[in-house]
């Protein structure tokens, strides 16, 4: 038996950086009790940093440190983390993760997977669960609420994630530029 934290550090010897960031984000994410039945994250960033500090000579420590520096609280899935990393590497603004979009009456229209508040661009990763007919209906209603709040929604799926998520990044870049972002 081993702890989640020790397993994470052991994985640093085997995984690629992005995959280790996915695991890191999963460990530190704040769960949604109404979906998961738990209220606390599996770990905090400080606990992972302490695990790294307590094993200075371990082979995976440099990669674990790098993964920690790239991790963020808020991603709900591996594709969200990988998309965030691709966005940042492409030089786009750093997105917020699962933050509320508030409409003009002060009501939360939605919490998008990734968002660019300054440009009112919301990004949704549509995994396989989004093909269920009831989910399709909910997704359409969500897109309508987001649009009514003055935001544009960019929908990304698995087909946009090949080639380092290049097609997804291109869609997001276009939406940001339409909304006033200028590349540096």
Which CATH number goes with the domain that contains 139?
3.40.960.10
Domain co-membership, 130 together with 65 = no
pLDDT at 129 over 90: no
Q: Are residues 89 and 42 in the same domain?
A: no
Indicate whether 63 belongs to any domain: yes
Q: Which of 25, 27, 21, 22 is nearest to 6 (CA)?
A: 27
Among candidate residues 14, 47, 70, the one where a domain is terminated: 70
Give CA separation, 4 vs 11, 23, 24, 37, 41, in Å: 10, 10, 10, 18, 11
In this predicted structure, the answer to whether residue 133 has a pLDDT above a threshold of 80 is: no
11: closest CA among 59, 46, 80, 49? 59
What mean pLDDT is predicted for residues 46-52? 97
Does a structural domain hold residue 114? yes
Query: Is the per-residue pLDDT at 169 higher than 90?
Result: yes
Report pLDDT for 130: 65
Q: What is the pLDDT of residue 174?
A: 98
Query: Does residue 21 belong to any structural domain of this protein?
Result: yes
Q: Answer whether residue 184 is part of any domain.
A: no
Domain-located, residue 183? no
Whole-prediction pTM: 0.91
Q: Are residues 66 and 85 in the same domain?
A: no
Q: Give the model's pLDDT for residue 139.
A: 86
102 and 50 within one domain: no
Determine the Cα–Cα distance for residues 44 and 107; give it in Å rounded to an integer: 30
The secondary structure element, H or E, covering residue 115 is strand 108-116
Same-domain check for residues 129 and 169: yes
Question: Which domain covers residue 38, as residue numbers?
Answer: 4-70
pLDDT surpassing 90 at residue 75: yes
Q: Are strands 108-116 and 96-102 parallel, antiparallel or unpaired?
A: antiparallel
Number of domains composing the chain: 2
């Amino acid at each position: 038996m081993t702890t989640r934290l020790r397993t994470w550090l052991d994985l640093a010897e085997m995984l690629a950086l992005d995959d280790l960031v996915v695991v890191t984000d999963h460990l530190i994410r704040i769960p949604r009790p109404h979906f998961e039945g738990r209220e606390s994250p599996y770990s905090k960033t400080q606990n992972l940093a302490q695990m790294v500090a307590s094993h200075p000579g371990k082979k995976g420590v440099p990669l674990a440190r790098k993964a920690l520096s790239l991790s963020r609280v808020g991603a709900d899935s591996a594709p969200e983390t990988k998309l965030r990393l691709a966005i940042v590497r492409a030089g786009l603004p750093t997105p917020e993760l699962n933050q509320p979009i508030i409409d003009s009456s002060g009501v939360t229209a939605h919490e998008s997977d990734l968002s660019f508040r300054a440009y009112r661009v919301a990004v949704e990763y549509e995994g396989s669960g989004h093909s269920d007919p009831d989910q399709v209906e909910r997704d359409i209603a969500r897109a309508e609420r987001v649009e009514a709040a003055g935001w544009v929604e960019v929908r990304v799926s698995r087909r946009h994630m090949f080639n380092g998520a290049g097609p997804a990044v291109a869609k997001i870049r276009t939406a940001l530029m339409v909304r006033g972002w200028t590349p540096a």
